[in-house]
Structure 1
Amino acid sequence: MSSTSDIRHQLWVLGLIRATEAIAWTSTFPYAYFMIRSFEVPEHDIAFYAGALVAVFTFGEFLTGVVWARVSDRIGRKPTALVGIFCGFVTAFTLGLSRSVAVVIASRAFGGLFNPNVGLVVMLFVIAKAFSLFLGGLLADPAALYPSIFPPNSAWTSYPYLLPNLAVSLLQVLTFILALLVLQETHPRMRDIIKHGTYAPLAEDAAGLEAEVSATEEHPLEDFQREEEQRDGAQKRAFTFQVILQILAVSLLAFHKVASDSLMGTFLALDSGGNGGDNKSTADGAATRANISFPHSSVGFGFDTRTIGIIFLTEANSRAAIQPTAIPWFISKLGALRAFRWVLGLYPATYIVTPFIPKIPSPFHFVLLLLDLWIKAAFSSVGYICSAVL
């Protein structure tokens, strides 16, 4: 990097890559329920498939994250990032044109398996999530929300979820162009070879490599064994009991946070009869609810995609507002360990309250819903930050 300005440009491009991925992932949350229902899936199975849209993507990232990291060591960080952006474009475009559950699941799985960027860049996720939730809710099914602009019996009616994914695809194209032209290679052995998408081996690189080889040829076996011993020792020292406990804790935190996010869209879409606004109930669904003996709520809010997107936007905005302000103050007052324990102890109470919020008279139920989402956002943020500190 030649100057501070160059570094800033790199950081902005990296942030855009991460933001684009976050938008592609979370923009489906507001309309996932309606999308699955449009495929004539039984009502009692919609929540399962809506959750699967989230699960297959993140599970695909889990399966191939290490693989893509090793690929980036071979071909460089920049080419790997470009592959991820291109695959994100393919995923968004095919998702918008999907006409069945199988195609939707396959599209999301492809997006997760061929997404190396989650391990390469880690910026601007909160801001991007706020934008993506609003985008998904605002643009889904435009023929129903904006009939004067998007006429019925058109392509927007046949593919009601094409518009939000088309917006994501265009953002992916913009990100790809910027990454191709501006992003520089950061791999130590390749940053001087790969520049702006072109390969230009330099004489000093070859000379340096030759010197490195000649230096290790004197005692190659001893050097190799020493490096292996140092690497093994560093790994053993890194994974202490404390670190293992924190990995387990943050994994469980992420587990129920993502599960809650994926189910909340369905909960907000279900109407007061629990049927997503179409007042049609399946016998199996009714029987299933009748067999549940413990107290429960079988009603939702009946919001459309636009309202759901706005609700999710308020949650993301609240998180963005408190992360640099209230949360550091809270953790500094209690300490990371005490704050972490308080959050984990109080978190389950929010899930117990959530199903009964629709039974509260209007407009108080809407206020309580926002408070519930904001409190969960604050708890999860404190949990992740405290875990990282610990």
Structure 2
Amino acid sequence: MTIDEETALLSRPVPKPRTPLPKLQLSVIMLIQICEPIASQSIYPYINQLVSELDITGGDEKKVGYYAGLIESLFFLTEAMTVLQWSRASDLFGRKPILLIGLFGTGSSILCFGLSRTFWALVVSRCLCGLLNGNIGVMKSAVGDLTDRTNRAEAYAFLPIVWAIGASVGPLIGGSLARPHDRFPEIFSAAFWQDFPYFLPCVATGGFVFLSWFAVLAFFKETVPSRNQKRHGLTEVGSEDISRADSPPTVMSHKHVGPLPMRELLGFPVIISVANYVALAFLNTTLGALLPLFMAMPREIGGLGLPPPTIGIVLSAYGLTTGLFQILFFARFVRRFGEKRVFVNGMITCLPVFALFPIISSIAQRFGLSIVVWGLIGCVLALGALMDTSFGAIFMFITASAPKSSRGTVNGLSQTSAALARAIGPALSTSLFSLSVQYNLLGGYFVYVFFFVLSGLALVLAEHLPNQIWEDIE
């Protein structure tokens, strides 16, 4: 056979056409996705002030970090206790009922948080919020159900974007609506708002969660086969809405569709993907807890001394920056560099992020809140936006590592592990901040050196991911 230039060109593999995304279904999922960062992060701008007002620390500002970190961590700690069970239940009973339960529990517990007047009431309501919220793993499973290899990067690009929007809106709600009787006395002059000064941001957050509940009830179509379909050995990915022209093709088979036992799932693909997700979640949540604490604490003990409204604006800017960066660049980066390189490059940014904190603190102590300080804070936000591209990349690894029939279980396992990391991260970081300041460890900057070293270790782990992502497993 004669091989010429034309033959070589014709023999190249033709790229598979990109499957259109199911827009309505994904829109509902993104609405659910935005609820968790709003619920978990709307308390960040005022939690330190709330702890101080409860007089738990006896007036010692250096101890605020201990209790604030505990309250922040409880959501993720209790979420870790149940998210695997919720996700596995979604493999058996469907995604929709589990999503509805999670949203209802989240909205109710947020309202309870706003009505809490003691430290232990805050603890109980925060725990309930985590225990009843199993949606984070179920949502990612649903995205995997609705997509294939040709369009998954575009779909997963929206998850960090929506999270970033929630991370932007949440602190803005918390910072803007906290203590309304002080900020808007002509409207909120009743004694109720003085007795419950943080109920208004909880009402706004809870109201959005319940709105999402109604959206799921009305518009979300089940993506897991019904029991009747399973009984007849048929698997249909999606529904009438999903099987339209703008959706992935319906898949019908006579294969076993039940979730596999856990021991059969724990191979190298699942373990290495979940381990890297845990490392990323830990460092990202650490940054999320350290940044508002760093901005809230007085300058003389290593912070910036900013008020809650300003902290809310800064955190909102961080969310906006992340969202814009994801929507503009993530899918392009994945197509050009591959999932692994995108993930590793995002993890690299952890090193300069933690290195910048002591630099900002030193400049603020000497020169006040100068333009240099704000410029460096902007650098932290920009680097954080690049770090967040790692989430979409690792979600793609996790989805590809799991058989379709056990996707909920594997996503639940990843979310359980990540929730534990997110529970440890805020408590550890804020406690180390307080210890560093209280005992002047490395000039009060030990906390940043500690997490700088951990970031380096996370990079070593990231290099163990394969260069090419796995094919979807039936």
Relative distance call for 1:233 and 1:244 in structure 2 (3 A) is: closer
2:322 to 319, 323, 326: 319
CA deviations 1:202-261 (Å, max 9, x no partner) are xxx5xx78766xxxxxxxxxxxxx979x9579946x722x65334323311211210221
Return the letter of the residue paired with 2:282: F
> How many Å apart are 1:160 and its aligned residue?
1.2
Contact 2:42 2:170 in 1 (8 A): yes
Distance in 2 (CA, whole Å) between partners of 1:145 and 1:114 is: 33
For 1:35, the equivalent position in structure 2 comes to: 50
Contact 1:47 1:263 in 2 (8 A): no
For 2:286, the equivalent position in structure 1 comes to: 259
For 1:160, the equivalent position in structure 2 comes to: 197
Distance in 1 (CA, whole Å) between partners of 2:338 and 2:220 is: 39
Relative distance call for 1:167 and 1:232 in structure 2 (3 A) is: closer
Q: Does 2:79 align with 1:52?
A: no
Percent identity of equivalent pairs? 27
> How many Å apart are 1:335 and its aligned residue?
5.4
Return the letter of the residue paired with 1:369: I
For 1:193, the equivalent position in structure 2 comes to: none
For 2:359, the equivalent position in structure 1 comes to: 356
**Greater relative CO (CA pairs within 8 A, separation 6+):** 2
Q: How does 1:65-76 map to 2 (within 5 A)?
A: 65-76=83-94
Task: Name the SS for the 1:245 alignment partner.
Answer: helix
CA deviations 1:270-327 (Å, max 9, x no partner) are 1223xxxxxxxxxxxxxxxxxxxxxxxx232222211111100111111111113345
Distance in 2 (CA, whole Å) between partners of 1:145 and 1:25 is: 23
Contact 1:32 1:265 in 2 (8 A): no
Which stretches in structure 2 are left out of the alignment for 5+ residues?
A: 1-21, 141-158, 234-254, 398-464, 466-474
Return the letter of the residue paired with 2:29: L
1:303 to 288, 306, 315: 306
TM-score (ref. length: structure 2): 0.62
Relative distance call for 1:370 and 1:210 in structure 2 (3 A) is: closer
> How many Å apart are 1:97 and its aligned residue?
0.8
2:267 to 231, 239, 248: 239
* Aligned length in residues: 330
Which 10-residue stretch deviates more, 23-32 or 48-57? 48-57
> How many Å apart are 1:20 and its aligned residue?
2.0
Q: Does 2:221 align with 1:184?
A: yes
Contact 1:36 1:49 in 2 (8 A): yes
Return the letter of the residue paired with 2:352: A
For 2:350, the equivalent position in structure 1 comes to: 347
Which stretches in structure 1 are left out of the alignment for 5+ residues?
A: 1-6, 191-204, 213-225, 274-297
Task: Name the SS for the 1:15 alignment partner.
Answer: helix
Relative distance call for 1:93 and 1:58 in structure 2 (3 A) is: same
Distance in 1 (CA, whole Å) between partners of 2:216 and 2:332 is: 37
Which 10-residue stretch deviates more, 367-376 or 320-329? 320-329
> How many Å apart are 1:262 and its aligned residue?
1.3
Return the letter of the residue paired with 2:90: S
> How many Å apart are 1:341 and its aligned residue?
4.4
Return the letter of the residue paired with 1:350: V
Distance in 2 (CA, whole Å) between partners of 1:331 and 1:19 is: 23
Contact 1:13 1:178 in 2 (8 A): yes
Which 10-residue stretch deviates more, 306-315 or 126-135? 126-135
> How many Å apart are 1:130 and its aligned residue?
1.8
Distance in 2 (CA, whole Å) between partners of 1:210 and 1:233 is: 22
